[in-house]
Amino acid sequence: MKIERKILLNPGPATTTDSVKMAQVVPDICPREKEFAGMMKQLRDDLVRVAHGNLEKHTAVLFCGSGTINIDICLNSLLPEDKRVLIVNNGAYSTRAVEVCQYYGLPHINLEFSVYERPDLSVVENVLQENPDIAMVYTTHHETGTGILNPIREMGAIAHKYQAKFVVDTTSSLGMIPFDIEKDNVDFCMASAQKGLQAMTGLSFIIGNEEQIKFSKKYPKRSYYCNLYLQYENFERTGEMHFTPPVQTIYATRQALNEYFEVGEEAKFARHKRVFEAIHSGINEIGLKSVIKREWQSGLVVSVQYPEDPNWDFEKIHDYCYERGFTIYPGKISTEDTFRICALGEIEVDDIENFFKVLKAALNHYNVTLPMS
């Protein structure tokens, strides 16, 4: 079976291999069978390995849902009664965590920084010093809205100095940028299958400290469906998800993990970096500008300023590229008009070169003039 190849330059879901796509086509199975439970156990252990966790200390808990379910679950499940969470917020995804706190009525501090910059860690430390009731520090590793990579290792060390848990949204970095849960001072990280692992949508997972999950049994239960301890306890007791898992997505994730370990963390990271460099070369060549300081960029997402030409219309350019197999995505910076070109997924430098040929043709077609075109 030949599946048409599409180049997704949006920030996830990502372009997948055909072998991952085809892994979803399996004989019908009831997920309550031992065979399926055995596969999930192996999958959970392998996810801990992706984060370089220690199977004696760390565990992975699976959920059926998109990545946002992890943000919801970590915040509502891991905060003790009468304690506060400090959200170190320099972008759209940490703002989402603030909204989760608002919806659950969780006591929180929204420590906002410019979306164009990395957070100032001395300010983070001051807030922790002045507020001993902070039990959790939460941030986003790679702010997918801008492409900024945050200094989690240093932030985690500060959180731990004040006896706070450190919970990090690693949805758009895990499996792409080398990460070590222990060395990076992280207690809980999270992702979903369709980003770094290049699998399908519908499966999300939280990887973290097993003792802390057990301890959270005593914390207030704020959600029935989205509680970390309840799902963990169910997995440990029965080997199964509490409710119906996304069966075919789990088969695809199994295949994606095999391919991930075959390639290896460093080689995969090197490929993403090559693609990222090719994106920068492409935008430089036609005179487009990225908005984030280069040394703060993750290497996975480039936020590009809209050209000033009045003939520029993102929708039209998007459609022109889309019809030719390339998907670009609007930006997520409320104060500035940007779009994003991302290096996630199973793509290579020649895909980016082909994309820029199409983009140039689109700009010509709509008479958009750029400084260098």
Binding site for ligand PLP (CB under 6 A): 11-12, 66-68, 93, 140, 144, 169, 171-172, 192
Neighbouring C-beta atoms of residue 352, cutoff 10 Å = 23
CB of 60 to ligand PLP, least distance (A): 17
Provide Rg for the chain, Cα atoms: 21
340 is in an annotated binding site: yes
Kindly tell me which of 11 and 299 has the beta carbon lying closer to ligand PLP.
11
Helix H or strand E segment including 143 = strand 142-143
In angstroms, what is the minimal distance from the CB of 282 to ligand PLP?
22
Question: Token pair for residue 65?
Answer: 């849902």
CA 136 to CA 85: how far, in whole Å? 5
Q: Which amino acid is at 14?
A: A
Report d(CA 205, CA 46) in Å as an integer: 12
**Structure-block tokens of residue 324:** 């030719």
Which residue, 217, 153, 160, is CA-closest to 183?
153
- The Cα–Cα gap between 310 and 370 comes to 11
Q: How far is the CB of 252 from ligand PLP (least distance, A)?
A: 16
Question: Closest CB to ligand PLP belongs to which residue?
Answer: 67
For ligand PLP, give the closer residue by CB, 65 or 307: 65
State the nearest-atom distance from the C-beta of 192 to ligand PLP, in Å: 5
Q: Give the residue with the Cβ less far from ligand PLP, 17 or 172.
A: 172
Nearest CB to ligand PLP, comparing residues 172 and 185: 172
Please identify, using beta-carbon distances, which residue of 67 and 119 lies nearer to ligand PLP.
67
Tokens 């290497």 belong to 299
Q: Closest approach of Cβ 30 to ligand PLP, in Å?
A: 27
Nearer to ligand PLP, 296 or 312 (CB): 296
Entry field: residues in the chain: 373
219: helix, coil or strand? Answer: coil
Strands 326-327, 301-305: pairing kind: unpaired
CA atoms 338, 339, 344, 349: torsion sign: negative
- Smallest separation, CB 12 to ligand PLP (Å): 5
CA 193 to chain centre: 9
> What are the structure tokens assigned to 128, written together?
């922790």
Instruction: Please state the residue numbers annotated as binding site for substrate.
Output: 340
> Which residues contribute to the annotated binding site?
340
